[in-house]
């Protein structure tokens, strides 16, 4: 099947609008909130209101974290570019502006992606407009989401949660937190479910905010749950434990969010490449795409290599999102996109700092900030190593027990 690599016609206006927002609203305040760590970017409230207006008018439908979902497959056998494609393209442009501010956007948390991915119709409606963080990582579990220790015990019409979550993006600011917990440790990863815990619920406590290398505009929290009672209807999706299904239900969230994180890395890398090309041109370095790289200057050859690396990540991102829109299993492709984009983002942004020399290393420009911000995109939502492990399992047809 031929693939058209141009932006889908119906999504071009949205992408152009988001690019203008990134350039005129995010870039100007990027350094301000990098220096003012943990200070809430109030300018984002107006931006969120604009996004709500676009969604209500239908012009921004499916954009952002809330757009990653598994819609029904077209009955006529056609293909489509739907909510997942809209999401990765819009988030890509936002992160061209600023990754930290994008992650701090109200109602666009990674928890919103989880709700969009696995919630039932009633929950979609009930949690519409809620800003949701996502709490997966725990002390001692790292990238091994299947080893979650936080427990959820059914008690009447509530689940009682006990445990600790760390590195929760927007954990302090969000209206709610999507918490991953196990219903029964003896049943293994099949018993892991996600719960929407609303802010202010007794037993949920934000213990501290982390100081970080990058994405300083986004708050990152440690949260404890002590006999925290959550309504049973806040368990996302089905409460049934299907041992045969294993971790597949929970992994459906990652299959949708990993292309989203890939798009963040791609957007940040594109920002660095755009700026570095301008610097090289001003310095008299000619980048000639019609000549082999080895016949050009070292700086031009390096830039061409970085752009090719970027293109590979961009295409993998598009493929994973397109497959999600067309109801095709994309676990392998989602991990490929995330692995490639995460590593590419770090490599490209740091290389751009190097090519720009003193300009790249100083705080007078944003290149050094993009290098710091991009590193997290190779870590959260599953590290580089975890993504490669998932891809290897899919390629070799081995289970998690067979290939660790």
CA-to-CA separations, 88 to 20, 279, 325, in angstroms, rounded: 16, 28, 11
Rounded to whole angstroms, the Cα distance separating 277 from 304 reads 10
Rounded to whole angstroms, the Cα distance separating 31 from 179 reads 32
Rounded to whole angstroms, the Cα distance separating 92 from 107 reads 17
Q: What is the CA radius of gyration of the chain?
A: 21
Of 93, 164, 368, 381, which residue is the catalytic one? 381
Close Cβ partners of 140 (under 8 Å, ≥ 6 residues apart): 149
Close Cβ partners of 152 (under 8 Å, ≥ 6 residues apart): 159, 160, 161, 181, 182, 183, 193, 195, 230, 235
Residues 173, 131 contacting (CB under 8 angstroms): yes
Rounded to whole angstroms, the Cα distance separating 300 from 315 reads 23
Cα 358 off chain centre by: 31
Centre a 10 Å sphere on the Cβ of residue 282 and count the other Cβ atoms it contains: 8
Instruction: Indicate if 16 belongs to the active site.
Output: no
Rounded to whole angstroms, the Cα distance separating 31 from 364 reads 9
Residues 222, 204 contacting (CB under 8 angstroms): no
What SS3 class is residue 315? helix
Rounded to whole angstroms, the Cα distance separating 36 from 24 reads 20
Strands 158-169 and 151-155: antiparallel
Cα 16 off chain centre by: 21
Residues 138, 163 contacting (CB under 8 angstroms): yes
Structure tokens given for 115 = 């709700």
Strands 132-135 and 176-182: parallel
Helices (H), 296-396: 298-325, 331-356, 358-361, 367-375, 384-396
What SS3 class is residue 181? strand
Positions marked active-site: 381
């Amino acid at each position: 099947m031929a693939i058209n690599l141009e932006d889908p016609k119906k999504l071009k206006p949205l992408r152009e609008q988001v690019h203008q927002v990134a350039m005129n609203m995010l870039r100007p305040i990027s350094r301000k909130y990098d220096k003012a760590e943990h200070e809430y970017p109030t300018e984002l409230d107006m931006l969120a209101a604009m996004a709500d207006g676009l969604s209500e008018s239908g012009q921004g439908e499916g954009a952002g974290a809330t757009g990653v979902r598994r819609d029904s497959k077209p009955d006529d056998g056609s293909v489509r570019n739907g909510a997942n494609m809209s999401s990765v393209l819009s988030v890509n442009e936002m992160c061209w502006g600023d990754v930290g501010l994008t992650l701090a956007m109200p109602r666009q948390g990674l928890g919103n992606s989880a709700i969009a991915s696995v919630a039932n119709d009633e929950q979609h409606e009930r949690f519409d407009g809620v800003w949701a963080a996502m709490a997966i990582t725990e002390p001692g579990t790292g990238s091994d989401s299947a080893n979650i220790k936080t427990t959820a015990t059914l008690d009447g019409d509530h689940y009682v949660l006990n445990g600790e979550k760390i590195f929760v993006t927007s954990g302090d600011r969000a209206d709610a937190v999507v918490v991953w917990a196990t219903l029964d440790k003896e049943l293994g990863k099949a018993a892991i479910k996600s719960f929407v815990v609303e802010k202010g619920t007794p037993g949920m406590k934000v213990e501290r905010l982390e100081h970080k290398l990058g994405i300083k505009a986004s708050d990152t929290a440690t949260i404890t749950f002590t006999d925290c009672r959550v309504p049973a209807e806040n368990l996302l999706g089905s409460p049934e434990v299907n041992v045969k299904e294993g971790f597949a239900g929970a992994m459906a969230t990652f299959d949708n969010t990993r292309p989203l994180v890939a798009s963040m890395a791609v957007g940040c890398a594109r920002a660095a490449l755009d700026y570095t090309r301008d610097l090289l041109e001003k310095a008299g370095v000619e980048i000639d795409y019609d000549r082999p790289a080895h016949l050009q200057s070292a700086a031009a050859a390096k830039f061409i290599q970085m752009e090719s690396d970027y293109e590979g990540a961009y295409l993998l991102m598009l493929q994973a999102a397109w497959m999600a829109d067309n109801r095709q299993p994309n676990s392998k492709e989602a991990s490929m996109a995330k692995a490639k984009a995460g590593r590419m983002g770090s490599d490209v942004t740091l290389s751009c700092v190097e090519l720009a020399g003193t300009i790249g290393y100083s705080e007078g420009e944003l290149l050094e900030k993009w290098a710091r911000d991009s590193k997290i995109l190779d870590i959260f939502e599953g590290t580089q190593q975890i993504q490669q492990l998932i891809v290897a399992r899919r390629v070799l047809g081995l289970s998690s027990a067979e290939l660790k």
